[in-house]
Amino acid sequence: MQEVDGGFEPMLVDNASTDGSVEHVRRRWPQVRVVRSTVNLGFAAGNNLGMRAASGRHLVLLNTDTRVQTGWLSALISAAELEPRIGAVTSKLVFMADPGEIQNAGSLLLSDGSGADRGFHERDAGQYDCREEVFGACGAAVLYRREMLDDVGHFDETFFNYYEDTDLNWRMRLRGWKVLYEPAALVHHVHTGSSGEWSPFFTFHVDRNRLFMILKNAPPRMVMDSVGHFAGLSGRNAARTMMGRFMRPPQALRRADLGPGRARIHVDVVRSLAAHMPEMLAKRRQVRRRRTVPDRDIESWFYPRDLWLSR
């Protein structure tokens, strides 16, 4: 908070916390404006609440499970000022437990429509120390230009948690906005610190929201492929779950991601997709109608999924 002279409005969005953090912040940093919600709005709506309450031309988000390096905020702002079509500037995130390992150096879009962290679990040997354009930004520590948000819209609050930043990245790209990666904006990040990676909560929202995002933004072929793949995977999981009730399945089928818990999550995803399908199709019509960039330009950013999995 001491980095930027004037015009800086620190804000804490409280998502119905019960741990006394608001009182602590008010005692320790009285200059911080607190925006409170009486219910847990999730990442998407919680951040939207803060962004809509803020007044700056640049809006910077920072997760609670992070610690920033000196110069982080100044680096983001300097990068954003390089040209007017930069809609977002994303930080260099390393793991809190091992700062020599990269968590995110900009966000990728895989060829199957999945989001991914560029450089994920790579040792930091300086390979991501150059400022460059990337497909998208990670919402854990990012600067958004207000003009871009006014044009594209904020996070989709139906997502609640996860993939809302990748969805926004895609919508940005379809409107011709750029995303810049700034390695001087260094952040230590716990990563899924507030929900737990591959917990039922995490798995449900990642599986469902990836499909929400594809339904809204992707070319028709990818929509058909992704929905068909998920339907097939759900059917196989259901069959393996039923088989497991009557016989012990082979070792290869006793993986955690193919067990009864994952099958139940898939059922919940299908139900949620059905309930929200009219809403997602209406949003798709709006996104496709307003795009100024053809699908082939977006597809040029696709990173091969097989190559990603073979890392």
Question: Is there a domain that residue 226 lies in?
Answer: yes
Which of 51, 41, 65 is CA-nearest to residue 11? 51
Question: Is there a domain that residue 225 lies in?
Answer: yes
Residues ≥6 apart with Cβ < 8 Å to 25:
12, 32, 34
Residue 12 tokens, joined: 């804490």
Residue 260 confidence (pLDDT): 60
Question: Is there a domain that residue 10 lies in?
Answer: no
Question: Is there a domain that residue 192 lies in?
Answer: no
The Cα 214–Cα 206 span in angstroms is: 12
Residue 199 confidence (pLDDT): 84
Question: Is there a domain that residue 246 lies in?
Answer: yes
Question: Is there a domain that residue 253 lies in?
Answer: yes
- In terms of residue numbers, what domain contains 284? 200-292
* 121-165 pLDDT per residue, tens: 999 999 999 999 999 999 999 999 999 999 999 999 999 999 999
Sign of the alpha-carbon dihedral angle for 125, 130, 148, 11: positive
Question: Is there a domain that residue 39 lies in?
Answer: no
Q: If residue 134 lies in a helix (H) or strand (E), which one and from where to where?
A: strand 132-134
Per-residue confidence band for 309, with pLDDT thresholds at 50, 70 and 90: confident
Residue 8 confidence (pLDDT): 85
Question: Is there a domain that residue 231 lies in?
Answer: yes
Number of domains making up the chain: 1
Residue 262 confidence (pLDDT): 77
CA angle centred on 256, ends 252 and 260, rounded to 5°:
100
Residue carrying structure tokens 């990337």:
134
Which residues of the chain form beta strands (DSSP E)?
A: 11-15, 33-37, 58-62, 66-68, 86-95, 102-104, 107-110, 115-117, 132-134, 141-145, 178-189, 302-303
Residue 209 tokens, joined: 């929201």
